[in-house]
Amino acid sequence: MKKKTIILIAVAAVLIGSFVWVKNVYNKLVSADENAQSMWSQVENVYQRRADLIPNLVATVKGYAAHESETLESVVAARAKATQVTIDPSNLTSEAVAEFNEAQGELSTALGRLLLIQENYPELKANENFRDLQAQLEGTENRIATERMKFNQAVKDYNTSIRKFPDNIIASVFGFEKKGYFEAQAGAETAPKVEF
């Protein structure tokens, strides 16, 4: 009788210990997943801020540089494309992040061309509204870089958690999958050629 009791207590202790371990690992993985999704929301938030600034910037430039319609139209089209590409935070695959990054990169390029217009229009360059919008846009670009860095760190922490042994067993049982990083766009390693 005593032997059965000891065996039952030992089995119960193993089961309880296993349950506690699985629960702790699962909860840690959920926290890492939620953190990555939260960081993604911040990335989208700062990109939305940039998208919200663009119509005001385009309207300001339009008043001074009416015959630069091709550049203005490319900015508007790039903004429309960039705001249409969305990602479900629970499905942050490398491919989805790359598609989002590509659309945002096209918008960045178009914005760069728009900001270069000021060189041809001294009165635009002197316009206080334009300068304020340009400063806000520059600040937003810095925020984007910061939030992308934080997102990549959160994804690194999550991806590391789901790959570590023995946590990877729990991750595979419960379907935790690797998330994608923001990566530099093709050609980013080459400095742009500036000609005067």
What is the separation of C-alpha 158 from the centre of its chain, rounded to a whole number of angstroms?
15
Domain boundaries, the chain: 48-174
Q: What is the pLDDT of residues 149-188, one digit of tens each?
A: 999 999 999 999 999 999 999 999 999 999 988 776 654 4
Distance CA 75, CA 131 (A): 18
The reported pTM is: 0.72
Answer yes or no: is pLDDT of 31 > 90: yes
Q: What is the third-level CATH fold of 48-174?
A: de novo design (two linked rop proteins) (1.20.1440)
Which residue, chain included where needed, has tokens 């900001």?
115
Of 170, 168, 158, 160, which Cα lies nearest the Cα of 21?
170
Furthest CA-CA distance within the chain: 97
pLDDT for res 71: 75
Distance CA 177, CA 188 (A): 28
Of 119, 113, 130, which Cα lies nearest the Cα of 63?
130
Answer yes or no: is pLDDT of 191 > 70: no
Q: Is the dihedral of CA 18, 24, 25, 29 positive or negative?
A: positive
Distance CA 172, CA 183 (A): 26
Average pLDDT over residues 115-138: 78
Answer yes or no: is pLDDT of 53 > 50: yes
Distance CA 57, CA 75 (A): 10
Average pLDDT, the chain: 83
Q: Which amino acid is at 57?
A: L
pLDDT for res 188: 47
Q: What is the pLDDT of residues 72-119, one digit of tens each?
A: 778 888 888 888 888 887 778 888 888 888 888 888 888 887 777 777
